């Protein structure tokens, strides 16, 4: 519920200056899988759970028939290409009935997944490779399973003379698709609105890194993005909601449905820059999917993850630090821990992308700590010390912006104190006592 003051910012992300959005509300797209419409999605606090079921192909109809007869069970996705199974939404009172189906070979919870950042063309040596071998992605299809993208962005194009692998563009009542992006699906709202309007447009960032195709002039003037495979086609699957409180599609089963559809539509490479914690052991659904995709000659590239640091002495504020100054040997996320995928990550980043704002001619780096946009207007800033209760209890902070200095104590306690005082927003001046991996560069 924290808010950030609307000030002049420069973000490290690819956006269309026109920011044109398509209004496709109420219009249907040809859906590759069955999924509830946005109006049917439940709020964050729910009494149901998503589960991924596996069974043999010969028992498919029998299992599905049994599921349909159980009250409180809804079949969300069916899998045939890379997994023999289905995902279901189950009420707590009906879960035991599902588990009692003897033909099931596996039942596992469909966990929530999150986007992970970043990579850069210069870091992976793609510039030298593409120049030496004249490879630019032409004839290849990359599936991006993420938060969507702006298909109308000027960098989402193919060079003249490039013969694409997919020549048939998926029909759309809104004219969504192009030769650059011939197919996709929005698993959040059940249509073909793929516009990435999330708090941080992660999908647009990934798509630009993979296959952005600005002109040479725009790249030279730093007005466009030239990706690793600029003439590759993209299949785009939106599984992250624009509303951070509506994450019903941000679970494994939607990602698996997207993988299945991408394979049906000719993907050569599938990008999964998402993550959750797991061991990557044989037997679970993702292991099976990755293995079958590899057997079909399809490459899955997965983010190796940066969820923690083995040399940390704290875990407050959702970001671990590197207080001990040692090499980070933290476990990879589950999508990269499976042998059949290519794990992508960087041990030594040479570039840093951060937001900044200007104050009295001086640049300050900052990191957003909340998703709520502050109503445009003028606000009084109040020095609230470190946000400790004894410092803020006597202050008049209602409707004002509290400015606090982060210290060694838990920031969540300070935020809780300020929320109790009905602040309109919070600005945190970062501490200089620790060297946090994620926040070292962010003064604010």
158 CB-near residues (< 8 Å, 6+ apart): 138, 164, 179, 180, 213, 231, 233
**DSSP secondary structure letter of residue 327:** P
Asked if residue 352 has pLDDT above 60, the reply is no
CA distance readout (Å), 74 to 28, 59, 70, 254, 364: 21, 18, 9, 14, 49
Last residue of a domain, one of 110, 142, 157: 110
Q: Of 164, 130, 331, give the one whose Cα is nearest residue 233.
A: 164
**Same structural domain, 331 and 409:** no
**Same structural domain, 147 and 58:** no
Whether residue 33 lies inside any domain: the answer is: no
Asked if residue 327 has pLDDT above 60, the reply is no
Asked if residue 324 has pLDDT above 50, the reply is no
Asked if residue 181 has pLDDT above 90, the reply is yes
**Same structural domain, 199 and 246:** yes
Asked if residue 364 has pLDDT above 90, the reply is no
The chain-wide mean pLDDT, for the chain, equals 74
- The predicted structure's pLDDT at residue 193: 83
**What is the pLDDT confidence band of residue 361, given thresholds at 50, 70 and 90?**
confident
**Same structural domain, 361 and 250:** no
**Same structural domain, 137 and 103:** no
Whether residue 22 lies inside any domain: the answer is: no
Whether residue 29 lies inside any domain: the answer is: no
**What is the pLDDT confidence band of residue 270, given thresholds at 50, 70 and 90?**
very high
**What is the pLDDT confidence band of residue 346, given thresholds at 50, 70 and 90?**
low
- The predicted structure's pLDDT at residue 249: 53
Task: Confirm if 270 and 340 have CB atoms less than 8 A apart.
Answer: no
Instruction: Indicate which CATH number applies to the domain containing 88.
Output: 3.30.70.80
The reply to whether the predicted model has a pTM over 0.75 is no
**What is the pLDDT confidence band of residue 131, given thresholds at 50, 70 and 90?**
low
Q: Of 34, 83, 75, 74, give the one whose Cα is nearest residue 54.
A: 83
Q: Which helix (H) or strand (E) holds 85?
A: strand 85-91
For 183-209, how does the pLDDT look when each residue is reduced to its tens digit (9 = 90+)? 999 888 888 888 877 666 778 888 888
**Same structural domain, 196 and 154:** yes
Range of the domain at 135: 115-344
Task: Confirm if 274 and 146 have CB atoms less than 8 A apart.
Answer: yes
Last residue of a domain, one of 344, 367, 399: 344
CB atoms within 10 A of CB 255: 24
**DSSP secondary structure letter of residue 409:** S
78 CB-near residues (< 8 Å, 6+ apart): 33, 34, 64, 85, 86
| Rounded mean pLDDT, 402-423 | 87
- The predicted structure's pLDDT at residue 201: 73
For 78-117, how does the pLDDT look when each residue is reduced to its tens digit (9 = 90+)? 999 888 999 999 988 999 999 999 999 999 888 777 654 4
Q: How far apart are the C-alpha atoms of 298 and 164, rounded to whole Å?
A: 18
Last residue of a domain, one of 94, 110, 126: 110
């Amino acid at each position: 519920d924290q808010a950030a003051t609307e000030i002049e910012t420069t973000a490290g992300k690819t956006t269309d200056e026109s920011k044109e959005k398509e209004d496709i509300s109420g219009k249907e797209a040809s859906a590759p899988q069955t999924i509830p419409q946005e109006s049917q999605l439940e709020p964050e606090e729910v009494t149901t759970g998503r589960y991924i079921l596996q069974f043999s192909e010969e028992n498919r109809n029998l299992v599905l028939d049994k599921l349909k007869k159980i009250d409180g069970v809804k079949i969300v996705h069916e899998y045939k290409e890379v997994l023999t199974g289905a995902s279901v939404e189950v009420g707590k009172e009906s879960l035991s009935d599902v588990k009692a189906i003897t033909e099931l070979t596996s039942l596992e919870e469909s966990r929530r997944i999150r986007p992970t950042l970043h990579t850069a063309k210069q870091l992976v040596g793609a510039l030298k490779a593409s120049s030496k071998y004249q490879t630019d992605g032409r004839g290849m299809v990359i599936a991006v399973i993420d938060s969507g993208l702006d298909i109308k962005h000027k960098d989402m194009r193919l060079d003249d003379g490039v013969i694409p692998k997919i020549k048939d563009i998926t029909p759309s009542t809104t004219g969504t698709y192009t030769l650059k992006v011939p197919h996709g699906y929005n698993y959040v709202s059940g249509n073909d609105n793929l516009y990435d309007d999330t708090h941080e447009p992660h999908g647009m960032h990934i798509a630009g890194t993979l296959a952005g195709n600005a002109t040479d002039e725009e790249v030279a003037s730093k007005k466009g993005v030239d990706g690793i495979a600029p003439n590759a086609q993209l299949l785009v699957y939106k599984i992250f909601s624009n509303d951070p409180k509506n994450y019903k599609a941000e679970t494994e089963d939607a990602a698996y449905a997207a993988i299945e559809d991408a394979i049906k539509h000719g993907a050569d490479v599938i990008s999964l820059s998402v993550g959750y914690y797991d061991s990557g052991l044989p037997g679970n659904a993702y292991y099976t999917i990755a293995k079958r995709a590899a057997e079909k000659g399809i490459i899955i590239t997965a983010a190796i993850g940066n969820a923690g640091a083995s040399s940390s002495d704290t875990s407050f504020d959702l970001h671990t630090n590197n207080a001990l100054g040692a090499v980070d040997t933290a476990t990879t996320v589950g999508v990269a821990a499976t042998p059949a995928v290519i794990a992508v990550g960087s041990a030594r980043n040479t570039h840093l992308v951060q937001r900044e704002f200007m104050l009295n001619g001086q640049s300050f780096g900052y990191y957003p700590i909340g998703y709520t946009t502050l109503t445009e207007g003028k606000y009084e800033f109040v020095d609230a010390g470190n946000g400790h209760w004894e410092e803020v209890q006597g202050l008049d902070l209602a409707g004002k912006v509290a400015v606090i200095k982060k210290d060694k104590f838990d920031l969540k306690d300070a935020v809780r104190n300020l929320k109790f005082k009905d602040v309109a927003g919070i600005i945190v001046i970062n501490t200089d006592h620790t060297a946090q991996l994620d926040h070292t560069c962010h003064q604010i």
